[in-house]
Chains A and B, each alone.
Chain A
């Protein structure tokens, strides 16, 4: 904790004497002044990040080896929490749902926003309006988005009204455990489309037009050009999007909480890991130690996801 505050930070390196002597006196004074004040400038940021991010992170890891509860100090219990996790059906349900979320949402969010970016890339009249409009779901808060879709997918909501009007039967999107989870995934994808579209747009701006023209001259069709020109050019961005979206998907909370309810749908079958942390660790009898153990699993999986994405990136390079 202390090591992250400005006070005990390492002293700044002294500039080399030879250069000091060679520099005019004014410059020497500037350098010295520029060395001392930055610690003062960085102090608020270091303090906030230290107290509210890094310290809670360390104490989460420490708590995962104790039986601490809300308002009750815990004692060291070794790996007991993790052993209990292995026999906890709810934990496996949460792990299954969060993992499934990654497997479905990530491919969709890597590919669809890229296609969307290609669609809005061409400067045609009104394109700015379309870009902004596609970004609107990103701006809306997740609670608003969740409630909009709860109403859209309701037994008597718009989607079912349309399905009925065209002669298909009603679908209980919000009553079946699997349909609920997939509906939540669809909402996550819908909300993320615009966000990743913008990231891809920035990347596409750097693709030289000559490449496309050359490919077209060689007789490559649009699909072929997409695969052999566009995809290689934005590959590093696709990796970035995969990394961002996979970590976010694994930590999903709000969409499922709002659509399936606090208890996670029928018999809790739609609970995700973060929902489990929230449910286990809060309240007067909250089991801080046990919830922290689940958090540690989330940390580990997050790191693993990052490494997987980076490795996939390196493999492609060879």
Chain B
């Protein structure tokens, strides 16, 4: 590659980087600016002149932000568990069922994947109320706790495993659970990691459904809490900025740690899914 092309590439990369990361850094900078610093100055001052964590204390005084974070964490962790277990089991079943049953069951999951969730929220809410689960974290979790897309992803992963290995294990006296846990599951660890990451992010980032199902402020998840903060204290930019940083930082850290799996998995999923 000639030098001028390399220079051009890096220039473009840096411009895009500023566009993609800049807003996050500006939010972080705003959240660290003290009450006496002008956050509206023009030209803008990018670095806080006297960084302080004061705004973070104020967020915790204004809304129970740590309780909300815990609620989000509970839902996200449960979502990871149910999706990994449920999708792996169902995906294994779809890969191992005989022809007629497999077709019917696979069709159920494909149809479910095609249903636009935004269109059925009212009916989902009514279903939740009939089950007396509205306004609970269980209600937030349930509709997505085994997603059809994840089941189909796991099915694809299991389909790539040769059948003969399992037959050999059977001849050696392994029962179906042993075959599933000892042979099939370890072979699809990569896909399982992808399902786990997306299940966590999906639950942590979800907005519309919790907004509908939760009404008690003490049950809010982080996204709903932020929406409430923004609605009530819109004029206090430092406060809202601190709240958003609290919500986004754990995910960025998680993503930074897991990015290897992420990109491998996202690529795979895009091609096969």
- Give the contacting residue for B122; candidates A60, A141, A258; CB below 8 A: A60
Chain A window 6-29, contacts with chain B (Cβ cutoff 8 Å), 1 for yes, 0 for no: 000111110100000000001101
- A161-B42 in contact (CB<8A): yes
Whether the Cβ atoms of B255 and A136 lie closer than 8 Å is yes
List CB contacts (< 8 Å) of B115-167 with chain A: 115-127, 142-143, 145-146, 148, 151, 166-167
With A and B bound together, what is the CA distance between A193 and B16 in angstroms?
11
- Counting chain A residues whose Cβ lies within 8 A of the other chain, the interface size class is 35 or more
| CB contact under 8 A between A34 and B176, given known A122-B1, A133-B20 | yes
* A46 x B90 contact (CB < 8 A): yes
Task: Decide yes or no whether A92 CB sits under 8 A from chain B.
Answer: no
Q: A295 near B120 (CB under 8 angstroms)?
A: yes
Contact B244 A144 (CB under 8 A): yes
A211 at the interface (CB under 8 A from B): no
Chain A residue at smallest Cβ distance from B144: A52
Asked whether B40 lies within 8 Å of A156 as measured between CB atoms, the reply is yes
Give the complex CA separation of A161 and B176 in angstroms.
65
CB contact under 8 A between A144 and B98, given known A54-B112, A132-B256, A299-B116? no
Which residues from A are CB-within-8-Å of B21?
A: 133, 136
Chain A residue nearest to B226 (CB atoms) is A143
Docked Cα-Cα span, A132 to B251, in Å, equals 13
Of residues 142 to 188 in A, which have CB atoms within 8 Å of B's CB atoms? 142-144, 147-152, 154, 156, 158, 161-162, 164-165
B residues in contact with A13, CB < 8 Å: 98-101
- Contact B247–A143 (Cβ < 8 Å): yes
B102 to chain A, nearest CB (A): 8
Q: Is chain B's interface secondary structure helix, strand, loop, or mixed overall?
A: helix
Please report the total number of B residues contacting A with Cβ < 8 Å: 100
Q: Which chain B residue lies CB-closest to A142?
A: B207
Docked-complex contact A281 and B122, CB < 8 angstroms: yes
Tell which of B26, B170, B251 touches A141, judged by Cβ atoms closer than 8 Å. Answer: B251
In the complex, per-residue mask of A48-68: 1 if CB is within 8 Å of any chain B CB, else 0: 111111111101100100000
Closest beta carbon of chain A to B222's beta carbon, Å: 8
Are B44 and A141 within 8 A (Cβ)?
Answer: no
| Complex-state Cα separation, A203 to B270, whole angstroms | 9
Stretch at the interface among A76-84, A102-110, A223-231, A285-293: A285-293
List the A side residues contacting B89 at CB < 8 Å.
41-42, 44-45
Does the CB pair B90–A42 fall under 8 Å?
A: yes
- Report which of A51, A140, A193 forms a contact with B24, defined as CB distance below 8 A: A140
In the complex with contacts A10-B100, A143-B223, A277-B118, A41-B127 CB distance below 8 A:
no
Closest to B87 in A: A45
Query: Known interface pairs A34-B176, A139-B251, A161-B40. Does A119 touch B12 (Cβ–Cβ under 8 Å)?
Result: yes
Which residues from B are CB-within-8-Å of A291? 122
Report Cα–Cα, A137/B145, bound state, in Å.
Answer: 24
Contact A45 B115 (CB under 8 A): no
**Interface residue B41 (Cβ < 8 Å from any Cβ of A):** yes
- Indicate if the CB atoms of A140 and B40 lie closer than 8 Å: no
The reply to whether A247 and B116 contact each other, CB–CB distance below 8 Å, is yes
From A46, A122, A139, A281, B255 is in contact (CB under 8 Å) with A139
Expressed in whole angstroms, the Cα–Cα distance for A262 and B9 within the complex equals: 42
The reply to whether B100 and A53 form a contact with Cβ atoms under 8 Å apart is no
Contact A38:B92 (CB < 8 A) given known A53-B148, A165-B43, A298-B119: yes
Q: Mark B210-227, 1 if CB is under 8 A from A, else 0.
A: 011000000000110011
Whether, in the assembled complex, A116 has its beta carbon less than 8 Å from a beta carbon of chain B, the answer is yes
What is the bound-complex CA distance between A187 and B222, given in angstroms?
A: 21
Does A30 touch B at the CB level, under 8 Å? yes
**Most chain B beta-carbon neighbours within 10 Å: one of A26, A50, A143, A152:** A143
Q: B43: which A residues are within 8 A, CB to CB?
A: 161-162, 165
Q: Closest CB-CB distance, B209 to chain A, in whole Å?
A: 10
Question: Which residues on the A side are within 8 Å of B98 (C-beta)?
Answer: 12-13, 15, 35
> Which 5 A-B pairs have CB atoms at the shortest separation, nearest pair first?
A45-B90, A141-B205, A56-B123, A38-B93, A281-B122
Beyond the given A48-B143, A141-B223, please list 4 additional residue pairs across the A-B interface where CB-CB is below 8 A.
A141-B207, A143-B205, A144-B247, A262-B231
Measuring CB to CB, which residues of chain B are less than 8 angstroms from any residue of chain A?
1, 6, 9-10, 12-13, 16-17, 19-21, 23-24, 26-27, 30, 40-44, 85-87, 89-90, 92-94, 96-101, 104-105, 108-109, 111-112, 115-127, 142-143, 145-146, 148, 151, 166-167, 170-171, 175-176, 180, 201, 204-208, 211-212, 222-223, 226-227, 230-231, 237, 240-241, 243-244, 247-248, 251-252, 255-256, 259, 262-263, 266-268, 270-271
